[in-house]
Amino acid sequence: MSRRIAIIGAGPGGLASAMLLARAGADVTVFERAQRVGGRSATIEANASPGRFRFDMGPTFFLYPRVLDDIFTACGREMAREIDLIRLDPQYDLVFEAGGHIKATPDLPRMMAEVAKLAPHDAAALPRFMEDNRQKLAAFRPVLEAAFHGMRDLVRPHMLKSLPMMRPLRTVDSDLATYFRDERVRLAFSFQSKYLGMSPYRCPSLFTILSFMEYEFGVFHPRGGCGAVMESLARVAGDLGANFRLGEPVQEILFRGRRATGVRTEAGCESFDAVVVNADFAHAMQRLVPDRLRRRWTDRKLATKKFSCSTFMLYLGLEGIDENLAHHTIYLSADYKRNIAEIEAGRAPPTEPSFYVQNACVTDPELAPPGHSTLYVLLPVGNKTGEGIDWTAEAPRLRATALDRLRRIGIKDVERRIRFEKMMTPHEWEHDLSIYRGATFNLAHSLDQMLCFRPRNRFEDLDGVYLVGGGTHPGSGLPVIFESARITSRLMADDLGLTGHWSAASEMAAPDYTPVLAEAL
């Protein structure tokens, strides 16, 4: 008999799992509360005069496509036929309020010349940074790609081998200080910690690999945006037999003792052999699972955990195209430490915020009507811990600050040119997207919330429940979430007897599973 699997949530991890599990022979049903797939990686579509604007809701940087490529291969498909990836060069522009500008490029000699404009000594250290992080990623690769079932896994040979490269007593910034003296150069290689919703002054030094991977493997724009990738995953999963129930939220997971036996929606109760939770972890546990059934991740314990920052978002459909503005621009505040401290305190919006702008239409003009463009504006802000910020009162003021900051990078007459506008604050992330505390990057990636200390892919509190997404191992970010789908699908195939269906050309089907990162190194 085919195993029946329910997947709660059609985010990137749920979609990739639906592909893999359907290919492995399971009868897969995906329940999604929204009327579209993608979760916080979905597309926002707006019909406004003079036509349609399309925005990515969340991630806009598409990095390290090899993991997703292997998932497509495992399912008998070619990713290149399903997704059109455009490699960017320059990858992004870095603008420093303190002075200076870097056009970040994966071409090492050109990047060294860019860094030399700020700090010649630091430019000379760039090849050493790249080589050291190449070795760091190679050492830590087996850790990122293996399931963690308990403390005993911390003393596995590949884990012990990686420890010297982890430098656990250093942060991202302090590790970068061994290469780069200029604070602006360190920021150029550490702002990526915001992909995890963390400060470079607290983020573990392991994550210097984030900037390394951008330069080593590239930054891509998927034509149609990252939301188009989610639509491709759903299409292939459907072709493989997965059933999608959009607009049908799961109201509870059904249990016999501690074992999940099915789910309940407005349509009624259905039995399943296993349940995959791709919804926001903390929110889903509190809403779908009785507190009495959870031991390690009770409501009380969840309240003590550290969560990422949130974001203030503006999605603007504009008349005109800012041709001189890069596809991605990161503006870094002169007093970056103060900016980070204000975000972590969460008592008020940051006074002189750093921000990120995506001007995608310079690469992908069909995202807006002719003669128009889309701007995606992101300001990191505190999550909704404790009393927090009254976003009803503060949102208009932060919007005015954001528009003023845009003028500093040459985007003029914004207010006059707006033809569509949508705003998202931590309040909307929490209440409209069901994200705990509005923490858009999920549980923080501190050392005490990584590896076996993070909720596990085969969820340790319950039987027959598995996790994918940013709230489980290995963590947040699209490539890592896709890796969580590979780990979880592999575990479920073993547990449920789903064998022999993945394509032989894929690493998923190898007798000794060697994930695709090994091929890249």
Q: What is the CATH number of the domain that holds 350?
A: 3.30.519
The answer to whether the Cα torsion of 23, 474, 61, 430 is positive or negative is positive
Asked if residue 89 belongs to a domain, the reply is no
More confident residue, 2 or 113: 113
- The model's pLDDT over 453-492, given as tens digits with 9 standing for 90+, comes to 999 999 999 999 999 999 999 999 999 999 999 999 999 9
Asked if residue 31 belongs to a domain, the reply is yes
440 secondary structure, DSSP code: T
Residues 447 and 487 in one domain: yes
- The model's pLDDT over 80-125, given as tens digits with 9 standing for 90+, comes to 999 999 999 999 999 999 999 999 999 999 999 999 999 999 999 9
- Tokens standing for 495? 């547990």
Residues 393 and 426 in one domain: yes
Residues 474 and 498 in one domain: yes
Of 172, 197, 217, the domain-final residue: 217
From the centroid of its chain, how far is CA 278?
A: 13
Of 217, 249, 268, the domain-final residue: 217
Asked if residue 232 belongs to a domain, the reply is yes
Please give the Cα distance from 488 to 20 (Å, whole number). Answer: 10
- Tokens standing for 322? 């800012």
CA dihedral 45, 47, 48, 52 (to 10 degrees): 70
Residues 296 and 322 in one domain: no
More confident residue, 137 or 126: 126
Please give the Cα distance from 55 to 19 (Å, whole number). Answer: 25
Of 217, 237, 260, the domain-final residue: 217
Asked if residue 103 belongs to a domain, the reply is no
- The model's pLDDT over 255-314, given as tens digits with 9 standing for 90+, comes to 999 999 999 999 999 999 999 999 999 999 999 999 999 999 999 999 999 999 999 999
Total domains, the chain: 3
Residues 451 and 396 in one domain: no
pLDDT of 513 reads 55
- The model's pLDDT over 38-73, given as tens digits with 9 standing for 90+, comes to 999 999 999 998 999 999 999 999 999 999 999 999
- The model's pLDDT over 451-462, given as tens digits with 9 standing for 90+, comes to 999 999 999 999
Residues 62 and 20 in one domain: yes
455 secondary structure, DSSP code: P
- The model's pLDDT over 176-210, given as tens digits with 9 standing for 90+, comes to 999 999 999 999 999 999 888 889 999 999 999 99
Q: Read off the pTM.
A: 0.95
Residues 321 and 418 in one domain: yes
- The model's pLDDT over 5-47, given as tens digits with 9 standing for 90+, comes to 999 999 999 999 999 999 999 999 999 999 999 999 999 999 9
Give the range of the structural domain holding residue 75, as residue numbers without chain letter: 4-42+57-82+227-305+443-520
DSSP 366-405: GGS-TTEEEEEEEEEE----SS---HHHHHHHHHHHHHHH
- Tokens standing for 69? 């490529």
Residues 189 and 243 in one domain: no
Q: Is residue 8 within 8 Å of residue 288, measured between CB atoms?
A: yes
* N residues, the chain: 521
Residues 174 and 248 in one domain: no
Burial class (CB in 10 A: 0-12, 13-18, 19+), 126: buried
* pLDDT over 80 (residue 500): no
